[in-house]
Amino acid sequence: MSVSAEPIACQECGQLHRYRPVAPGKTANCSRCGAVLYRNRPNMLDAVLALTLAGLTLFVLTNVFPLLGLRAQGAEQELHLLGASLAFWDQGYPILAGLIILNIIVFPLFELLTLLVVVLTIRYRWRSNMAIFLFRWMRELKPWGMLEVFMLGVLVAVVKLGDLATLIVGAAFWSFAGLILTMAAATALLDPFSVWRALEKKHG
Amino acid sequence: MAEHGALLQCRVCSHLSHPPRQLKRFEVMHCPRCGARVKFAQQSNSVEVTWALLIAAAILYIPANMLPIMSVYMLGAGQPDTIITGVYHLLEAGQWPLALIVFVASIVVPLLKLFTLSFLLISIQRRSRWRQYDRMRLYRITEYVGRWSMVDVFVIAILVGLVQFGNLARVDANLGSLSFAAVVVLTMFAARTLDEHLIWDITRQEEQQNA
Ligand SMILES: [Zn+2]
């Protein structure tokens, strides 16, 4: 396949372009709407791998330690990430509990594991069927992972409860903040176009 | 989804592929690269499905705002809060930045989403060529901000999980929170099913006719 003639279409507006290699660190943009078509990032895979491993570590820490604690009249209540997801369950709203588990535990974990598989597949030239399947669903499910929205919820709750009782910010709060930053960095760094091309080359 | 003469673009991985010569009306084509479903413009039901989701969301928007979303009990006494009374209590307590966040995320964003998506659908159905670039930007913004409406549902989850001190202080979830979450989910699906490339299709068809 000749590299220069490959037609590509803008993801945003559908405008047709021809693929032309760009210099390292540079970006190709759509001529009609200006959206990024693809980037040339020399060390993208290593950086994403490092961020993914850090993210998985932070994910485990976030789920192990309590997120918030509340002390009122001698009694104390702790909240873990899973506890927050299951709060609706105890109130008789299993569908809502399920939705929240998907938003803040299942989809973020799925995203991290997919990134790991995709990066390793490209790096070690494994067969790419699995990586293609995972990456496609990760892209489709991306809006449903809502860690940063949940974090805003935590902040709102913290301010709301501030006057009521003594609030303890748990260890998981900080690993959670780190996890959000790590995943945002990985998303910003990853160029989907390069990933799809790399996955495609290994397997028809 | 978008057609380029003979080429079809996958919405998930943007791969371009040739459609089969003959495709029956309800036959499905999968992207050769990522396996996602690729639809033809003439068999696209994007507009109809998006309308259906939007109408369902608009109907559920009423109980979401009328019914209480949670109840706060202090020393045995308390009352249920709807979204708007919750915002009002925050204002009363002088926490106006918080009131603003909740008001925008829970009331403004869902309403704007309902209106914006309806506007985009109507403009697509009228084959409008008016400010296509701006309309696409509008779509992107609408698609992006929708998920932030979930913040109120998360706040309820955190309060319900954390404030369980029996008669001393307790927070319970109410039915309004379920309707509200349903509105968020439905409008997120609606934004997803709306094929934004339809905004450009009218120009593309004319370009092809003139070519
Ligand atoms: Zn595809």
Residue A83 has pLDDT above 80, yes or no: yes
CA of A125 to the centre of ligand 1 (A): 20
The answer to whether B133 faces chain A, any CB pair under 8 Å, is yes
User: What is the Cα–Cα distance from B209 to B201, expressed in whole angstroms?
Assistant: 12
CA of A136 to the centre of ligand 1 (A): 8
Percent of chain B predicted with pLDDT > 70: 85
List of E strands, chain B: 3-4, 7-9, 16-17, 29-30, 37-38, 70-74, 77-81, 169-173
For B160, which of A88, A152, A200 is closest by C-beta distance?
A: A88
Tokens representing residue B187 in the block: 């409008």
Task: List Cβ neighbours of B208 (8 Å cut-off, separation of 6 or more).
Answer: B5
Q: Which residue of B has its CA nearest to A152?
A: B151
The answer to whether B9 faces chain A, any CB pair under 8 Å, is yes
The answer to whether B104 faces chain A, any CB pair under 8 Å, is no
CA-wise closest residue to A47 among A187, A194, A189 = A189
> A-chain residues within 8 Å CB-CB of B196?
12
Distance of CA B43 to the CA centre of its chain: 23
Residue B21 has pLDDT above 90, yes or no: no
Rounded average pLDDT over A51-74: 92
User: What is the Cα–Cα distance from A145 to A99, expressed in whole angstroms?
Assistant: 10
Q: pLDDT digits over B127-178, tens only?
A: 777 777 788 888 888 888 989 999 999 999 999 999 888 888 889 999 999 9
The answer to whether A169 faces chain B, any CB pair under 8 Å, is no
Nearest-neighbour CA in chain A from B24: distance (Å): 25
How confident is residue B31, by pLDDT bands cut at 50, 70 and 90? confident
> A-chain residues within 8 Å CB-CB of B154?
84, 100, 104, 146, 149-150, 152-154
